[in-house]
Structure 1
């Protein structure tokens, strides 16, 4: 009875039947593209079909692209037509060479069922605009709980000290852990954040903190939390890849973020409304900073450049390319006319916004990561297992903080309490006395972890 059909068509019919029989019962509530479909596309599809990598010429980062065709002549999804929906056909294909996701496990049957029911209902769209990036309007995800006990430490990529210096906050797995900076005792745990935490920044008024996090190649976000309670205020900067950095403006009325999707986004703190989107970089943006008067922004990127912008308009002021290596951190000089940048060339450089001329340089024994200021100086963590502190106005060496046995990926510096903190690749956290460089405490930032004797 199937003699008149081609082999690919027979495969499709068989796979469709299998999917139909394994699908869950259709809910009385219609499938929502914004709530149900878009998050699945970001989780399972955008890594191979996004703005950075579009296999088969097909992208899924906007609804308009989702329903368009790639290199094939068939659209990804066609309303009420499973057979001509090329993406769905590949999701249910039994041929490993054409099934999506390519080189991965088949999608779970409950995920297939969402796509199937959505197509059957008419592939309806309930987002703000078909050309708007999906990540900008999907609901904030509900994250799994952090592990009760860690089997092993994880690299520490974010540390911060509370406004009064009494608490040390460390990025964990789907959580921020809070420790005593005096004796390293665990004080509390704040869950509900992304898979990996890359930055923790305190608001100028000391009431909230912004946590940048995400799952690589899948999703990123910033969560604004109350410092005292850990309660969620709002989620910002939803994106298709991790958010590496987040900073408050000096007045606290704006929040800027830096993401692996190559974007810088600026939000109004009170409402969470997005004010600016800056796409000047061609690769991951690792760090972002405001000038002391809030009039300028600076950024650091894997595209080997640092840049400065007008913070009101987002207009590019200057590009600095002298590192010739991925740039990991940026910080403004107190007078706002110069920028410090740190990079994989093992250097901290100082340069003018007016002409991008270098005016100073300090070297390290390894890649230098994010720059963090407090008072009249700033600290620079490095892959050579040290944190260095400099006088900001002069880029003058103050002290090196030693004792770590692995690369120091993140640092915090709290001038009032005279404490410097380093978070390491091996999961160890160090707290030093800023004045003499002595270690105050050190610990594995992994609740419940018991190292082998």
Structure 2
């Protein structure tokens, strides 16, 4: 086990002579420049120069002059002029953020003097009052997560996975590896000759991948989440890297043939290269398509514990038991950076999504954040609780750590602790954050694995690192099926009853709608008839003036004819008068009939208006009835929907359990 080696590292770097007296700062200190000559050197003289001067360079470092301080010591530079306080090695040591803490075996130097040192570093490490600060560089910890790597459409999830458990034991062994999908609720947990895949939200066991070569020491998902890369094997016998398709669980590639176990393995962004490392102290990079060895990189002097490609595939980092941390060019195999600040074994590394920052966790109790552009540590996080066994970034740039003090901690993108989870019973060996940053999953030395929500209060859910055999799980599934079948029958009856009620309510609603529509149509028909009658009455009335005028003219003609007849008894003249009088009588009769028609049409229109009013009065009750039936229909529809949802949910559970039963039955055979 890579985490079973506990090393003691010697103190390197600065040593200080502690003194109890603090120098008084000027009253206008905040308003003036903070310089080496005026402000910092007096602090060094009081605490440091006994050990760090030109005559006695402890750790190769002298700080009694500005030039000597800039040269640094045996571990490299300790201050930079970019104003980045988090990246300052000097500040990390005097503020006890990193080891060896200065002064050694002493409390921190007084807070006021620490504030002066901090202001000096943040101000650009000015030498004297005539010095000018350079423009500050961009903060490397300012992070905006890119979306590259996320596949189009739904993220990959298992569909059909193997269910057989290769090795069954009474208890789980120490957790050697945990991996989480970058885009899906999927968790991989290593066990003896097997890798268990769990749903990251429900904690359901989705399947078991066989790892016949031994124990997986590392589990990493590909950039798009479609493949799982497992590095491992058997100590002093065999080491390989295996690649699995997570949808069906098939092994699509096996790379390497090490003479000892592989502690870590990873693939690049396009799955063309696989890198692995272990006790043989060499970083090996293979062609993922045909397994040929591309690079055999010999830089490390001790076991390689961690290997990881940058998300963009440009770099690959490797870390070892002696505190070595090297970054390589993935395309050429040439060394890119040699990072030497750790004072203990580097157990775990993780890249931020933008590939600009690398996190490393060490036995020296720190997690360091390395800027790939500046080539230095921009933050040293004193995790607390001793050696740090694991570190992982999430998409937000947050960090989760696992430590030997049984604790899991969460840090923000700037390295500030934001949460500490309840302690486990033993040292926590592995930890990771789920794809949506809602949960952390971690495992300890006893084999206990826990999935915990980040939100308060944390809700822990155990995951079995050593799943029960297929036969045992088959019995559980069969019992679950029997329980589901018992629930399904009354739900089906309730659904049928709700459907019948819904159908009846729908018919009643449609009948009420038809009655309402009929009432409205009758009113419209009556109103149209009334309008037609009044129009006919109007048109008939408009004929009367002309008819009356004509009858008056005819009346005048009658009077003239009568006057012309006088007392004459001439038959012809009398016949003419009679004809004129007959025409008048006919015209008067027509006028009378027309008047009667107007009166009748008006009476009919008035009657139709009354009838229309009666019909209108019937519309509101019909409308209210339709509304009542609509509400009843909506209630019945909702009742039916709920009954159907309840039935379908249980039916889906039954279908899923049937699928599991079939898979487990096949595994048992």
2:300 pairs with one of 281, 286, 293: 281
1:422 pairs with one of 439, 442, 465: 442
Secondary structure, in 3 states, of the residue corresponding to 1:176?
Answer: strand
- The answer to whether residue 393 in structure 2 is matched with residue 342 in structure 1 is no
- The answer to whether residue 316 in structure 2 is matched with residue 297 in structure 1 is yes
The 2-side partners of 1:169 and 1:338 are apart by 25
- The answer to whether residue 199 in structure 2 is matched with residue 160 in structure 1 is no
Q: Which residue of 2 aligns with 1:255?
A: 274
- The answer to whether residue 452 in structure 2 is matched with residue 448 in structure 1 is no
The 2-side partners of 1:267 and 1:285 are apart by 16
CA offsets per residue over residues 49-108 of structure 1, 9 Å max, x none? xxxxxxxxxxxxxxxxxxxxxxxxxxxxxxxxxxxxxxxxxxxxxxxxxxxxxxxxxxxx
The 1-side partners of 2:178 and 2:356 are apart by 28
**RMSD value, Cα:** 2.5
Compared with structure 1, are the counterparts of its residues 219 and 412 closer, same or farther at alpha carbon in structure 2 (3 Å cutoff)? same
Secondary structure, in 3 states, of the residue corresponding to 2:456?
Answer: coil
- Structure with a larger share of its residues in helix: 2
The 2-side partners of 1:278 and 1:437 are apart by 47
Compared with structure 1, are the counterparts of its residues 225 and 293 closer, same or farther at alpha carbon in structure 2 (3 Å cutoff)? closer
State whether residues 430 and 439 of structure 1, in contact with CA within 8 Å, keep that contact through their aligned partners in structure 2: no
1:410 pairs with one of 414, 426, 430: 430
TM-score, normalization by structure 1: 0.62
1:380 pairs with one of 363, 384, 401: 401
Q: Which residue of 1 aligns with 2:455?
A: 435
Compared with structure 1, are the counterparts of its residues 441 and 286 closer, same or farther at alpha carbon in structure 2 (3 Å cutoff)? same
Q: Which residue of 1 aligns with 2:168?
A: 149
Compared with structure 1, are the counterparts of its residues 196 and 296 closer, same or farther at alpha carbon in structure 2 (3 Å cutoff)? same
Which consecutive residues of structure 2, in runs of 5 or more, have no partner in the other structure?
Answer: 1-163, 473-669
Q: Cα distance, 1:147 vs. partner?
A: 5.1
- The answer to whether residue 368 in structure 2 is matched with residue 368 in structure 1 is no
Which consecutive residues of structure 1, in runs of 5 or more, have no partner in the other structure?
Answer: 1-144
The 1-side partners of 2:288 and 2:456 are apart by 38
Q: How many residues align?
A: 305
Compared with structure 1, are the counterparts of its residues 148 and 350 closer, same or farther at alpha carbon in structure 2 (3 Å cutoff)? closer
Compared with structure 1, are the counterparts of its residues 412 and 331 closer, same or farther at alpha carbon in structure 2 (3 Å cutoff)? closer
The 1-side partners of 2:365 and 2:445 are apart by 17
Q: Cα distance, 1:202 vs. partner?
A: 1.3
Q: Cα distance, 1:206 vs. partner?
A: 2.6
1:47-58 map, 5 Å: none
CA offsets per residue over residues 283-310 of structure 1, 9 Å max, x none? 1111122234322221110122111112
Q: Which residue of 2 aligns with 1:391?
A: 412
- Structure with a larger share of its residues in strand: 1
The 2-side partners of 1:338 and 1:374 are apart by 13
State whether residues 283 and 304 of structure 2, in contact with CA within 8 Å, keep that contact through their aligned partners in structure 1: yes
Q: Cα distance, 1:407 vs. partner?
A: 1.2
Of structures 1 and 2, the larger Rg is shown by: 2
Q: Cα distance, 1:204 vs. partner?
A: 2.2
Compared with structure 1, are the counterparts of its residues 373 and 237 closer, same or farther at alpha carbon in structure 2 (3 Å cutoff)? farther
The 2-side partners of 1:228 and 1:218 are apart by 31
The 2-side partners of 1:357 and 1:410 are apart by 26
State whether residues 217 and 240 of structure 1, in contact with CA within 8 Å, keep that contact through their aligned partners in structure 2: yes
CA offsets per residue over residues 213-235 of structure 1, 9 Å max, x none? 11111111111111122212121
Compared with structure 1, are the counterparts of its residues 439 and 263 closer, same or farther at alpha carbon in structure 2 (3 Å cutoff)? farther
Q: Cα distance, 1:339 vs. partner?
A: 3.1
The 2-side partners of 1:399 and 1:437 are apart by 11
Compared with structure 1, are the counterparts of its residues 333 and 165 closer, same or farther at alpha carbon in structure 2 (3 Å cutoff)? closer
Q: Which residue of 1 aligns with 2:325?
A: 306
CA offsets per residue over residues 381-438 of structure 1, 9 Å max, x none? 211222222334x223332232422111112212326221001111111111133361
TM-score, normalization by structure 2: 0.43
Secondary structure, in 3 states, of the residue corresponding to 1:169?
Answer: strand
State whether residues 452 and 458 of structure 2, in contact with CA within 8 Å, keep that contact through their aligned partners in structure 1: yes
The 1-side partners of 2:187 and 2:357 are apart by 31
State whether residues 329 and 370 of structure 1, in contact with CA within 8 Å, keep that contact through their aligned partners in structure 2: yes
Q: Cα distance, 1:265 vs. partner?
A: 1.8
